[in-house]
Amino acid sequence: MTGPAPPPLAIDPGLLRRFRDAGAKVTWTAAPGPPGAPSSARIARLHEEEARIEERPTPGGHLLKVESGPVGALIVLLEIDRRGGLPTLSSEEAGADGAFPSGAIEARWGPPGGRSTLAVRDLIEVARYALV
């Protein structure tokens, strides 16, 4: 007999609560989206840090692309927590996308088969800096 699947964010409950509390303090402003793309773009701000966030549907799923850094990592973790499923995670080098000059983190929910090149534990370590 097997029990329920472990939650995607198998982290200390106290740390998860701190991430959720920080997420409630994020302020959002609209940002221009990519031309001609069916996506939305926003800027997430926490303390004195900002991160560009873009979301768009994909065939059979959803893509969340965030600016690399503590606030972006926090937003990805909160979305994983909200959705309850582990996405395929990857990173994009600085300068690869003009909308994300410092690089990006991509979380892709959808049909299985993608291979993550970024670990959730790495996001957790980066997102800790957003708590300060």
Within a domain: 1 = no
Within a domain: 3 = no
Within a domain: 8 = no
Please, are residues 64 and 76 in contact by the beta-carbon 8 Å criterion?
A: yes
pTM above 0.95, yes or no: no
Within a domain: 79 = yes
Number of domains into which the chain is organized: 1
Is residue 114 scored above 70 in pLDDT?
A: yes
Domain coverage including residue 98: 13-26+41-131
Within a domain: 123 = yes
Within a domain: 65 = yes
pLDDT, one tens digit per residue, over 28-86 is: 999 887 676 667 899 999 999 999 999 998 888 999 999 999 999 999 999 999 988 88
Within a domain: 50 = yes
Within a domain: 34 = no
Is residue 2 scored above 60 in pLDDT?
A: no
The DSSP code for 111 is: S
Please, are residues 100 and 127 in contact by the beta-carbon 8 Å criterion?
A: no
